[in-house]
Amino acid sequence: MNLESIVAIDVHTHAWKSALQVDDAPTESQQAMGRYFRYQPQHQTVPEMAQMYRKLKMAFVVFTVDGGKGSSPKITNEEIAELAHQHGDVAIPFASINPHRGAEGVRAAKRLIADYGVKGFKFHPSVQEFFPNDRMAYPLYEAIAEAKLPALFHTGQTGVGAATRGGGGIRLKYSQPMLLDDVAVDFPEMPIILAHPSFPWQEEALSVATHKPQVYIDLSGWSPKYFPPILVQYANTLLKDKVLFGSDYPVISPERWMEEFEKLPIRAEVKQKIFKENAAKLLKL
């Protein structure tokens, strides 16, 4: 990857469409998220995403979510990794393992690191139904920490299940940022990314990221015009080296995110850190 040729690194994108399967219709949950975010679903394959980001002169971290205990993603970690490496000028593969998979999940994580070259792991506690500081997940964190890879955690409210009956069974309590303070203490060598403005726990996220050296915040999943003032203030000052650009594509397009972010009172030199420099250092590009 030629960092000089790209203007930004989007650290948070979802691959929702397999390049290998004929059935690529969006799930009911994905359709509900489209209504919630008021966007036209663009369920692209990894190669299609790479083509789009290449035109934007951006790189992107891409992953699926290994969801509820009895579910399986429509696209596998292995497919994402293989296709991302084929488009390694712009694509960076992360994997997702549900901690409920236990020892089998740990073995899968080690195989994805060793054989597929994944560069980090994505967790969605509300979808995967676990508290991040549950010791059940610690063997999985140990494998990630041993490889010195980052772990990205969804925090705060989620569009998954939003405005559906019973919230689609999704419980927001699992995604409280302060739960990751324990993880940061117990795994000081594992970089942790708190994904999204962590509504309604924004100050918790800022506190953990300020206190723990290896904890970062990505700004995905929200239109920047809705960022709370305290998040903008910290991004512009105390956390200028630890805040990352993320769109949450396809629910928010990187173009829309960039257009709205440019209107925020963020200093020019800090914008460059958020757009690219912080992520390049974190991901060891």
Question: Domain of 53: which CATH number?
Answer: 3.20.20.140
**Can you give the pLDDT of all 285 residues of the chain as single tens digits?**
999 999 999 999 999 888 876 555 666 665 665 565 556 556 689 999 999 999 999 999 999 999 865 455 679 999 999 999 999 999 999 999 999 999 999 999 999 999 999 999 999 999 999 999 999 999 999 999 999 999 999 999 987 877 788 888 889 999 999 999 999 999 999 999 999 999 999 999 999 999 999 999 999 999 999 999 999 999 999 999 999 999 999 999 999 999 999 999 999 999 999 999 999 999 999
**pLDDT of amino acid 72:** 52
**pLDDT of amino acid 40:** 55
3-state secondary structure of 194: strand
Question: Structural domain of residue 55, as residue ranges?
Answer: 3-282
How far is 97 from 66, CA to CA, in rounded Å? 5
How far is 201 from 215, CA to CA, in rounded Å? 16
* Structural domains in the chain (count): 1
**pLDDT of amino acid 70:** 46
**pLDDT of amino acid 68:** 63
pTM summary value: 0.92
